[in-house]
Structure 1
Amino acid sequence: MTDELREQYDVVVVGGGAAGLNGALMLARARRAVAVIDAGEPRNAPAEGVHGLLGREGMPPAELLAIGRGEVRQYGGHVVDGAVSGAKAADGGFAVALADGREVKARKLLVTTGLVDRLPEIPGLAEHWGRGLIHCPYCHGWEVRDRAIGVIATGPMSMHGALLFRQWTADLVVFTNERLALPAEEREKLIARGTRIVDGAIERIEAEDGRITGVRLAGGEFVERSVLATSSRLEARAGFLKDLGLKTVEHPSGAGEHVPADPVGRTDVPGVWVAGNVTDLMGQVGASAAAGAMAGAQINMELVNEDTAAAVAAYRAR
């Protein structure tokens, strides 16, 4: 079901993942006119299930979003399929342009467009993303426990990942791939826990019948693995905000680029809020949903204050 997009809303939510839908739910329950515009490109689409989310453990991502859409609609909120191509200030609020030519106005914007994972450019790697190629032990570790796991290093943070994945398997290999210079002390930590370290550049990832079989090194050596883990560079989907003066900046962790905001999602542009992975690069589904709820409540309070100020001004003008 796709709802018809009206011309004007109190709040337009750009992005229909956990953060956007939970923000919209809070706003709809607050009797605000709210529309969620969703391009249908969830980051976790390749995953079989959502993990670490109390009460929804293992639920397929698409099912979780379908439930969320229904809950938003239950309170009068609209959920609209479409890609947002731009946004600009207009009439004391914002005008949001969609790629198909539609335009909608809103008093406030909540941006929850998430991020894009930029994977290492290794032949044969990307097609296994979300299945045989994983990134988060808390999201996928239980499902790949006790299997032959290989951690492909992308930088200094890969040491952190290697230490974590050892919790789920004793059969662990770290491929430095000429991206990770391990000091003697760091090597000792891995070796002491039975982790093999393989140096040298990776030529390609090999697979059979759609399943990873191992890693082929540039020198010809083949290392059997059934699961690979790596860190991606995380880039917020926020290019459409440029006309509002909002740009992505490097995240303090060095993991990628995000849209900075205060603890409740308020950006440097008045009236524009963010929640979820577009600002919190490492946030899981539960944290993103909670951030969306917080931002929704804060936006409603800001609208209440504006409505009250307008009412007081009108009252005094009698």
Structure 2
Amino acid sequence: MPYDVVIVGGGPAGLSAALALGRARKRVLLCDAGTRRNAAAEHIHNFVTRDGTPPSEFREIGRQQLTAYSSVEVRDVRIESITGTRGAFQVNLTTDTVEARRILLCTGMIDERLGLDGFRELWGHSIFQCPYCHGWEVRDQKWAYLARGVESLHFPLQLRGWTREVVVFTGGTFDVPEPTRARFDTMGIRLETRPVARLVARENRLEGIELSDGTTIPCEVLFAHPPQRQVDLVRTLGVGLDEEGYVRVDPMTRETSVPGIYAGGDLQTRMQGAVFAAAAGVHAAAMLNHELTVELAIAEEAGGRE
């Protein structure tokens, strides 16, 4: 008997989708390969009742709550490939092959670490992407932002809400418009355009950023937005991506360009975070439940008339 939905990914989006579908009495298989995008993060924030919860504990609680719904199955298994069409997908796992009427992708994104010495070790400890997620814990410290282009220069303006000491590093890779320079100056944001050589750290905590001329700028926190990419499975499915590499979905149904394959969470938006992903998972689940319920009811009625 095919699953109604196979969910790919066991983070906040996948767990929330499985919960909603389980409560709607749909037969669900959630496949979790164990790769955690937020594994380096010490806590989840901005999630009411779960503020400050370690990511591993969040997942443990989510899995435990799913055990109340007999139609939901969770497996620690990787999906090798997905073939077939809407209503009749074959999902090839590392252990066996299952069938599904629909697929829900909740795989998140892969963050590409920048080539700076020490970047990988400091990621999630002194280097962050989101001030809403981590800003409170490091408020009033010396902050830095590694800008990757002119389009990113709006970001450091908001950082002044958490600290009065902000330095923006461009690495000399692009020209900063004069109006932006003036705005930074007015707001007390320091602009540093010299090339960056390396990160200076001690005991896994950032102490400064060394420039190519040997100068070290003291800072305790670095915000950066490294490039992101989709996991291999998503890329092999051929779903449409936008200009930034995120999966395109119908804003209402959450269906991708491939009929029967849906997406929710970080893989389809730059507005990323546990609470956003969880909401996206529930949204997709509600749309899937509506579609499957109508489809199955029509099939039952047609069978009864024969």
Provide the TM-score with structure 1 as the length reference.
0.90
Structure 1 residue 315: deviation in Å? 2.1
SS of equivalent to 1:258: coil
Partner Cα separation in structure 1 for residue 300 and residue 2 of structure 2: 20
- The reply to whether residue 83 of structure 1 matches residue 78 of structure 2 is yes
CA contact (8 A) 1:259 1:279 kept: yes
Partner Cα separation in structure 2 for residue 101 and residue 69 of structure 1: 21
Counterpart pick for 1:245 among 219, 229, 238 = 238
The aligned residue for residue 27 of structure 2 is: 33
| Equivalent position amino acid for 1:273 in 2 | Y
CA contact (8 A) 1:216 1:222 kept: yes
SS of equivalent to 1:298: helix
Partner Cα separation in structure 2 for residue 85 and residue 156 of structure 1: 39
- The reply to whether residue 150 of structure 1 matches residue 144 of structure 2 is yes
CA contact (8 A) 1:153 1:179 kept: no
- The reply to whether residue 190 of structure 1 matches residue 209 of structure 2 is no
Structure 1 residue 283: deviation in Å? 2.7
CA contact (8 A) 1:88 1:243 kept: no
Structure 1 residue 243: deviation in Å? 5.3
Structure 1 residue 38: deviation in Å? 0.7
Deviates most, 131-140 or 303-312: 303-312
Partner Cα separation in structure 1 for residue 155 and residue 207 of structure 2: 21
Q: Which runs of 5+ in 2 are unaligned?
A: none
- The reply to whether residue 47 of structure 1 matches residue 45 of structure 2 is no
The aligned residue for residue 118 of structure 1 is: 112
| Residues 118 and 13 (structure 1), Cα distance of their counterparts in 2 relative to 1, 3 Å cut | same
- The reply to whether residue 289 of structure 1 matches residue 278 of structure 2 is yes
CA contact (8 A) 1:8 1:105 kept: yes
Deviates most, 241-250 or 106-115: 241-250
Once the two structures are superposed, the pairs formed by residues 108-257 of structure 1 within 5 Å of their partners are: 108-237=102-231, 239-242=232-235, 244-251=237-244, 257=245
CA contact (8 A) 2:86 2:261 kept: no
Provide the TM-score with structure 2 as the length reference.
0.94
SS of equivalent to 2:154: helix
How well do the aligned residues superpose, as a CA RMSD in angstroms? 1.7
- For these two proteins, the number of residue pairs brought into alignment is 304
The aligned residue for residue 309 of structure 1 is: 298
Structure 1 residue 290: deviation in Å? 1.2
CA contact (8 A) 1:93 1:271 kept: no
CA contact (8 A) 1:50 1:60 kept: yes
Structure 1 residue 188: deviation in Å? 1.1
Partner Cα separation in structure 2 for residue 229 and residue 245 of structure 1: 32
The aligned residue for residue 247 of structure 2 is: 259
